[in-house]
């Protein structure tokens, strides 16, 4: 048989259609860990019982893997969690939740087909939510909005809808509408059929909350004004045509909205149902030339994250692959598109934070972790039989820069190896120039925490203690070789080359950049935008 082994095209298409691969984007503290845990509680976690994310205390810290993460109680790296709900297989890709985000967060979004934008009812759209939203919007990823913490006093629901509309440009189309103001969460009006789902607390939120659905008459008798207010507000939305429209949702022009209290497990079933009913399945993914790769073509996938040092017992390198077509079977030998070399997948694993389960097969939409994958870089494609290359994963415009030097010159070899590896994984961007030499390259990062991760790993993993000194630049622009002599004559401007071959001109601030642009209008100084 062919490359798809024992699986017929029909089976593969059916499996792809069952997949929902998504991430939760939110500002820290909006309740992402709590929601993840609640989703897992309501669904059946495949492979690893009880594997969830979370912070200290009752929750096991599955995605918080590094020592530093544990100390700070934040998660820096991403893991994937797979569970079954109804007839669907849901892949939840974890995005780092700390305020100081890095490229990593952006990259994992290249692997998902849909996102849940989790909003704190009292805070509305916060800064990190907006940044992540922009990445999703740029990639046209459909977004489902969940207003969380409705059990606590917060903003008016209509006010929240206005904010979403104004700040994201998407039309909010609530699927449910809260009965009871924020702080008095009784249940939700299901806008599609006018029924009411009443929620009842279970002890401590550790088990599934009670839900009872009734018709409008019974709801009005039970909840009185709280229900009629919800109906009136829903009518207002109706007048504004804020009703779900699948086509505009898939085009990321509108966003279905739900109300929830993750900590009480209120509204969690509805979120899962919405993912299954509305979120897009794994579909043919366009290759570099825009040609969609059918899901039943032979296996293909791309690396969206590379990670090392997951835990002290597994000092290895893990590459996360999103499967795009065909079936991944452990042991298969695939081709690494950028080198044309074979890559054996004997050590494929499904990754649930610290716990790992060996994976035997994976379908389009699934995530596979490949161990000892030092040859793989973020953005690389892998395939079987029929060559394919998916578009590269963009790098982002660094805003923080540091010079890095080995503290101990006798450890220079380790230092070089460490820098190379961090560059390879995309932990930081490594920038060089003849002037600075190889002993003191410049690291560029989107968020300053990337430097801490880099420094920590240089010491722990590569045994190369180093010194970091900040540089006074905040803006990078892409330039060309021809512009270098002119730029070199400017004060507070420096040109460095990145390992992907791009030449970056660094400026102290926007004003300096504008000054240079005014003086030399012919210079090529292009923003490094998300692509
Ligand atoms: P994050 O991953 O987005 O950073 O948020 P996380 O789930 O850790 O939640 C942040 C805080 O918000 C936690 O409280 C959590 O219990 C609380 N929370 C999450 N969802 C809800 C909700 O629906 N309603 C209410 N009232 N609170 C919610 P904490 O005190 O920081 O931690 P913990 O001691 O409760 O674990």
Strand 292-293 and strand 285-286: the pairing is antiparallel
pLDDT band per the 50, 70, 90 thresholds, residue 77: very low
Q: In this structure, are strands 114-120 and 80-85 parallel, antiparallel, or unpaired?
A: unpaired
Mutate to test the pocket of ligand 1, among 30, 34, 56 (most ligand atoms within 8 A of CB): 34
**Which pLDDT value is given to residue 326?**
97
Residue range 29-64, pLDDT digits in tens: 999 988 988 888 888 765 332 222 333 333 333 333
Q: Which of 68, 74, 75, 50 is nearest to 60 (CA)?
A: 50
Q: Tell me: the pLDDT tens digits for 342-376?
A: 988 776 655 544 444 556 788 999 988 787 777 78
Question: Does residue 328 sit in helix, strand or coil?
Answer: strand
Question: Which range (13-22, 57-66, 306-315) has the least confidence?
Answer: 57-66
pLDDT of residue 306: 78
**Can you tell me the distance from the alpha carbon of 433 to that of 500, in angstroms, rounded to the nearest whole number?**
14
Q: How many CB atoms lie within 10 A of CB 210?
A: 12
**What are the CB-based long-range contacts (under 8 Å, 24+) for 293-297?**
293/324, 293/325, 293/388, 293/390, 294/325, 295/12, 295/13, 295/16, 295/324, 295/325, 295/326, 295/364, 296/4, 296/9, 296/12, 296/13, 296/16, 296/325, 296/326, 297/325, 297/326, 297/386, 297/388
pLDDT in the model for residue 348: 60
Q: Ligand 1 atom 31: the closest Cα is on which residue?
A: 29
Residue 34: CB within 6 Å of ligand 1? yes
Averaged pLDDT for residues 295-316: 75
Angle, alpha carbons 325-331-334 (nearest 5°): 50
Give the lowest-confidence range in 5-19, 158-172, 444-458: 444-458
> What is the pLDDT at residue 209?
81
The pLDDT value given to residue 235: 97
Q: Residues annotated in the binding site for GTP, as ranges?
A: 94-98
3-state secondary structure of 371: strand
Overall average pLDDT of the 368-395 stretch = 85
Ligand 1 lined by 186 (C-beta under 6 Å): no
The CA 116 to ligand 1 mean position distance, Å, reads 17
Looking at residue 120, its pLDDT comes to 98
| DSSP letter string, 259-287 | E-BGGGTBTHHHHHHHHHHHS----PEE-
> What number does the ligand 1 atom closest to the CA of 34 have?
7
**Over the chain, what is the mean pLDDT?**
85
CA of 149 to the centre of ligand 1 (A): 8
Digit-coded pLDDT (tens) for 206-218: 677 889 999 999 9
Question: What separation in Å is there between the alpha carbon of 261 and the centre of ligand 1?
Answer: 10
Q: Residue 467: which pLDDT band, with cuts at 50, 70 and 90? A: very high
pLDDT category of residue 302 using cuts at 50, 70 and 90 = very high
Q: List, in sequence order, every residue forming a beta bridge with 383; answer none if it has no partner.
A: 300, 335
Report which protein residue has its CA nearest ligand 1's atom 16. 263
pLDDT at 3 over 80: no
Span from the CA of 492 to the centroid of ligand 1 (angstroms): 45
CA 165 to CA 173: how far, in whole Å?
Answer: 10
The length of the chain, given as a count of residues: 531
Task: Say whether pLDDT at 266 is over 50.
Answer: yes
Above 90 in pLDDT, residue 143?
yes
Nearest to 192 by CA among 144, 247, 260, 256: 256
Q: What is the pLDDT of residues 186-205, one digit of tens each?
A: 999 999 999 999 999 876 55
Q: What is the pTM assigned to this prediction?
A: 0.81
330-345 tens-digit pLDDT: 788 999 998 999 988 7
Q: Which residue has the higher pLDDT, 449 or 197?
A: 197
**ipTM of this complex prediction, to 2 decimal places:** 0.97
How far, in Å, from the CA of 194 to the mean position of ligand 1?
A: 31
Tokens read off for 303:
């690396």
């Amino acid at each position: 048989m062919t490359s798809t082994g024992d699986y017929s095209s029909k089976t593969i298409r059916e499996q792809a259609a069952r997949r929902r691969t998504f991430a939760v984007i939110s500002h820290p503290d909006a309740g992402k860990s709590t929601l993840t845990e609640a989703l897992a509680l309501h669904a059946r976690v495949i492979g690893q019982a009880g594997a969830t994310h979370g912070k200290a205390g009752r929750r096991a810290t599955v995605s918080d893997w590094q020592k530093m993460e544990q100390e700070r109680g934040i998660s820096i790296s991403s893991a994937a969690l797979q569970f079954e709900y109804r007839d669907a297989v849901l892949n939840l890709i974890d995005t780092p939740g700390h305020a100081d985000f890095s490229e990593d967060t952006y990259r994992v979004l290249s692997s998902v087909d849909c996102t849940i934008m989790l909003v704190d009812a009292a805070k509305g759209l916060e800064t990190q939510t907006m940044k992540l939203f922009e990445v999703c919007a740029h990639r046209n990823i459909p977004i489902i909005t969940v207003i969380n913490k409705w059990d606590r006093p917060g903003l008016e629901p209509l006010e929240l809808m206005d904010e979403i509309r104004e700040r994201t440009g998407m039309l909010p189309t609530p699927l449910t509408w809260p009965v009871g103001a924020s702080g008095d969460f009784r249940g939700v009006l299901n806008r599609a059929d006018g029924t009411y789902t009443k929620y009842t607390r279970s002890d401590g939120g550790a088990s599934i909350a009670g839900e009872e659905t009734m018709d409008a008459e019974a709801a009005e008798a039970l909840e009185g004004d709280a229900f009629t207010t919800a109906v009136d507000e829903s009518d207002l939305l109706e007048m504004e045509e804020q009703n779900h429209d699948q086509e505009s949702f898939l085009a990321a022009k509108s966003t279905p909205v739900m109300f929830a209290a993750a900590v009480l497990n209120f509204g969690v079933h509805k979120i899962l149902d919405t993912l299954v009913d509305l979120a897009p399945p794994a579909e043919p993914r366009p290759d570099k030339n825009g040609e969609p790769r059918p899901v039943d073509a032979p296996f293909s996938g791309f690396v969206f994250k590379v990670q090392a040092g997951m835990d002290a017992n597994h000092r290895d390198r893990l590459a996360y692959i999103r499967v795009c077509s065909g079936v991944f079977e452990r042991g298969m030998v695939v081709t690494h598109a950028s080198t044309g070399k074979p890559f054996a997948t004997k050590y494929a694993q499904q990754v649930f934070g610290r716990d790992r389960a060996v994976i035997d097969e994976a379908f389009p939409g699934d995530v596979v972790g490949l161990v000892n994958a030092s040859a793989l870089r973020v953005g690389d494609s892998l395939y079987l039989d029929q060559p394919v290359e998916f578009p590269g994963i963009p790098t982002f415009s660094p805003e923080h820069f540091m010079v890095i030097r080995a503290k101990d010159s006798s450890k220079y070899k380790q230092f070089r190896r460490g820098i190379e590896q961090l560059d390879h994984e995309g932990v930081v961007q490594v920038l060089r120039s003849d002037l600075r030499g190889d002993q003191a390259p410049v690291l560029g990062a989107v968020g300053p925490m990337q430097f801490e991760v880099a420094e920590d790993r240089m010491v722990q993993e590569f045994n190369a203690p180093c010194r970091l000194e900040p540089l006074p630049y905040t803006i990078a622009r892409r330039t060309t070789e021809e512009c270098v002599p002119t730029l070199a004559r400017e004060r507070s401007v420096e040109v460095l080359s990145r390992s992907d071959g791009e030449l970056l001109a660094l400026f102290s601030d926007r004003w300096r950049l504008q000054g240079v642009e005014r003086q030399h209008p012919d210079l090529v100084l292009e923003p490094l935008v998300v692509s």
